A and B are shown apart, each in its own frame.
Chain A
Amino acid sequence: MLNLTDKITNPEAIKLINDLKSGAFFVPLKAKAIRYKWFIISGGIITVLLIALSIGKTIFRGSDKPVFLPPDIGVLQPTFEKTSVSDYEWIRQNIINFGTELPDPVIPFFDNIIDLESDNIY
């Protein structure tokens, strides 16, 4: 591995490299991390939850959705019944249509007494 301090001449760059090597660079960062540790932990938890949600959504969308269909009962075939009309059905209909009520036809009202005092003279 190359020795970086041999090639770099910038004093600030050299100081930075030395701080990184010694760990002094990370001291203020550590202090800030300790000061804001609950925020960092909370943020980390939320981040993990969001990642988990995202992974779950991706898995859900990728899986096949269950399809619910009614059971296959087959196609209903219409049944054709042979209906034959009797040659004597007309007699039967005549009997059914025979009116047993009397009088049939109904007798209209007739006034047999027509005189000058009758109410039905117009």
Chain B
Amino acid sequence: MDNQQKVILSAKQTILSRDLAKASFSWYILDLIGNTKTDYSPIQPIISSLAASRQFYLAEAEKSQTVITQEDLKKFTLTYTKSVAHHDRMIKFGIIANKLATLVRTQLDSNIALENLVSKLPGSLPATVTARIRELRESAKVVDVKIDLLAKNLEFLEAEESADAEIFFSSRVEKMAEIQTLQRDWIDRLIDLEKNYAQPNR
């Protein structure tokens, strides 16, 4: 085997490793989203696209093994670079989709917790307790709206190229932190209600 053939072989192995790694990473993100067990419709297109991107990486990994000559390698790389940008963006959208799914999961769990708590409270409640329960329901809806707005602003279908911007991630950190704070305050109020009215003697 001459030197050029050795180098081509090394290039093939590098391409194979790269695309298998991308496919694995895509699978990892899909798995994280799946573990939230949410059926949040705004992120369904992202999940589908990321699954398709994973198939692309696997196909490219397999295709790279057909490269024999330097010309084959050039053609492969040229074709790859034309298509890969879209799929790499799907990974970025997938990361955001995972965060959205996690926030939604917390909202679902919190709502179930509230209904569960209300069922444990005595039949006749003071007006203050009733008001607090009503406030919890209303503020949960406020958080739902904020999550929906964050998902809508992704502009996944309208502006996929936004994923190439440097601020793609940083512009969403503050919003997510705000939603996290609201959720935490909400659950603290729920736990306070539980301690004072559902289990005062526990």
Contacts and interface: CB of A to CB of B under 8 A. Distances in A.
Contacts of B109: 91, 94
Contacts, number: 103
A114 B11 contact: yes
Contact of A86 (B21, B169, B191): B191
Interface in B1-15: 4, 7-8, 10-11, 14-15
A115 B11 contact: yes
B74 interface: yes
Interface string A74-116: 0000000010101111011011101011111101101111111
A96 B181 CA distance: 9
A116 B194 contact: no
Given A88-B190, A107-B25, A94 B106 contact: yes
Contacts of B195: 84, 86
A110 B22 contact: yes
Nearest to A122: B10
Interface of A: 82, 84, 86-89, 91-92, 94-96, 98, 100-105, 107-108, 110-116, 118, 120-122
10 contacts: A86-B195, A92-B191, A95-B183, A98-B102, A102-B99, A105-B32, A112-B84, A121-B7, A121-B14, A122-B10
